Amino acid sequence: MDIQDLAGRVQSGERRALARAITLVESGRADHRAQAGALLDQLAPLGRQALRIGLSGTPGVGKSTFIEAFGMFLIGQGLKVAVLAVDPSSARSGGSILGDKTRMEQLSREKNAFIRPSPSQSQLGGVARRTREAVALCEAAGFDVVLIETVGVGQSETMVAEMSDLFLLLLAPAGGDELQGVKRGIMEIADLILVNKADGDLKQTAMRTCADYAGALRLLRKRAYDPAGFPKAMTVSAVTQDGLADAWAAIGELIDWRRANGYWDSRRAQQSRHWFEEDVRMGLLSVLNRKDTRARIETLGAQVAAGKLSASRAAEDILAHLRPTGEP
């Protein structure tokens, strides 16, 4: 593969080249990994930055419809929009939450939009690295906004927040009781809560729900990197498009303030550091996925379970076996 050529075509915004580049970073093959590294190194000096928006929402909240409507709104503002999906659970089903893009029919036909389904990977750590690299490729391809969509599974929201400039939480109109269902940890990483479906019969409920969440947000500890009034809860309707412009204005207000106060840069710096250390940890543990290591762990694990060998001694055996080779 001609990496120089691919880099050039990604840089000029060719969507097919971008798709191919993402396939490359998603590959687990050693030669592909080397090529992906070279590609990213070539593109890094461009220094292009998109606004990275993490997005999560409970099932049935209308996330696809929202992304389609919000994506079309952004394109209407003259922006280029990429949508990346992260679904660690898709490894099991083998499928992808974005499937054949039929979820976002209108957006997927736009030349200024790029939609990429979740890769099927079993390890959250692997998904994290691949998604970060896909984000970097979208930035190099000149996209202005990268939406990183995740499902609320395990640690995926925290992971996506760790690679986003801001985090949107999309929620449905609900009774007061259901407010409890939103995990506190997720509330704490949200920069903007959008209560969707604020239209028709649900409008009043949506407004009450929004007020409830606004109250809940006020109870959280003030974060240094927020201007007054943030995190904020607002209502939107993906169907009528009501509230999308207001949400975008709020995002602009938040981001402008963070840029002006140094938090955009410091957050990105802190995130890079985090991923560096995470990559080191994943690299050290990757030896556990090696076939011979897995077999040895299986054999010794059976002896440990049978009480013939202590857990510590078995672990020492594995570690002693791994170290001399110097080839994790």
Give the interface with its own copies as residue ranges (CB under 8 A). Answer: 37, 40-41, 44, 129, 132-133, 180, 269-270, 272-273, 275-277, 279-281, 283-285, 287-288, 297, 300-301, 304-307, 310-316, 318-319, 322-328
Rank residues 62 and 119 by Cβ distance to its own copies and give the closer one: 119
The rounded distance, in Å, linking the Cα atoms of 15 and 32 is: 20
β-sheet bridge partners, residue 83: 115, 147
Task: Read off the DSSP letter of residue 226.
Answer: -
CB 41, min distance to its own copies, A: 7
Between CA 197 and CA 202, with CA 199 as vertex, the angle to 5 degrees is: 75
Six-digit token string for 299: 């054999």
Helix (H, G, I), strand (E, B) or coil at 146: strand
Six-digit token string for 113: 């939009």
Q: Are strands 145-150 and 166-171 parallel, antiparallel or unpaired?
A: unpaired
End-to-end CA distance of the chain: 27
Rank residues 245 and 269 by Cβ distance to its own copies and give the closer one: 269
CB 304, min distance to its own copies, A: 5
Rank residues 224 and 306 by Cβ distance to its own copies and give the closer one: 306
CB 160, min distance to its own copies, A: 16
The rounded distance, in Å, linking the Cα atoms of 233 and 214 is: 5
CB 131, min distance to its own copies, A: 13
Rank residues 218 and 323 by Cβ distance to its own copies and give the closer one: 323
Rank residues 3 and 236 by Cβ distance to its own copies and give the closer one: 3
The rounded distance, in Å, linking the Cα atoms of 234 and 323 is: 54
Positive or negative CA dihedral for 41, 43, 46, 49?
negative
CA dihedral 247, 248, 252, 258 (to 10 degrees): 50
CB 216, min distance to its own copies, A: 13
CB 128, min distance to its own copies, A: 11
Rank residues 11 and 65 by Cβ distance to its own copies and give the closer one: 11
CB 179, min distance to its own copies, A: 11
CA dihedral 312, 318, 319, 322 (to 10 degrees): 180
Positive or negative CA dihedral for 181, 186, 187, 191?
negative
Rank residues 207 and 297 by Cβ distance to its own copies and give the closer one: 297
Rank residues 92 and 294 by Cβ distance to its own copies and give the closer one: 294
β-sheet bridge partners, residue 232: 192
Chain length of the chain: 328
